[in-house]
Structure formats: C-alpha cells, structure tokens
Amino acid sequence: MAGLLKLESERQQMPAAGVTVSAYFVFSLVLVAAVIARPSGPFMLVVTSPNQSAEGNMAVIAKAGGRFVWAGRAPWISVAQSDEPGFAERLFDAGAYLVLNHDLAVGCREGK
C-alpha cells in the first residue's frame, strides 16, 4: 500500500516537472529572440504606430537624427540609419514603438 501511495505521489509531481521544463524552454527561446532582435550597428528596423502614414514614420526617424533608408509594404515599418551612438534610444524618444535589428527586415525586402 505504501508503494502505491509513493507511485501516485511521483505521478502527481511529473506534470509540475513538465511545466517547469516547458517554462525554461520558452524562456530560452525568448532570450535568444531578444539577442537576435537587439538593435546593433548603424541600421535599424523602426516600427511606429500602424495608424501613422509613411510621412509620420519618416518624421520619427528625422526627429531622432537619422536617415530614412528603405520601407516595405507597411508604411509604418522602415529601415533607418545613423552613425551617432544612442540612435535606438532617440528613436524611442521620438515615438517609435519598436526598434529592432535591421536584419529582421529580410523577409520584407524579398517581398514575402
């Protein structure tokens, strides 16, 4: 009887262990994605409000002291460039919702 209770107890602990492993896996994926998406270098992918026009997106880039480089189908997503340090922070201060590594725009550049 004691052996059955022990098995039942171990079986109840298994789902908790599975949840823990899953949580660590998801955390690892988020961490890797954050490292890949981290803006670095002079070129950055700039995401502004979807309600803004292309002019609004370019105004955010200009206010941050950057130069417009390229845009895809969505007028609120573009690639900007600046050689000055702190460009990502200035973009956020100017109204950008998200600033990412410009390499993430490869799908947009290929028209996918």
Assign 95 a pLDDT band (cuts: 50, 70, 90). very high
Q: What pLDDT is attached to residue 17?
A: 66
pLDDT score of 111 more than 80: no
Assign 9 a pLDDT band (cuts: 50, 70, 90). low
pLDDT score of 39 more than 50: yes
pLDDT digits (tens, 9 = 90+) for 58-90: 999 999 999 999 887 888 999 999 999 999 999
pLDDT digits (tens, 9 = 90+) for 98-108: 998 877 666 55
52's tokens? 């803004």
Q: What pLDDT is attached to residue 68?
A: 94
| Mean pLDDT along residues 26-52 | 80
The rounded distance, in Å, linking the Cα atoms of 56 and 75 is 9
Percent of the chain with pLDDT over 70: 72
Q: How far apart are the first and last CA of the chain?
A: 62
Label each residue of 62-103 as H, E or C: HHCCCEEEEECCCCCEEEEECCCCCHHHHHHHHCCCEEEEHH
More confident residue, 24 or 62: 62
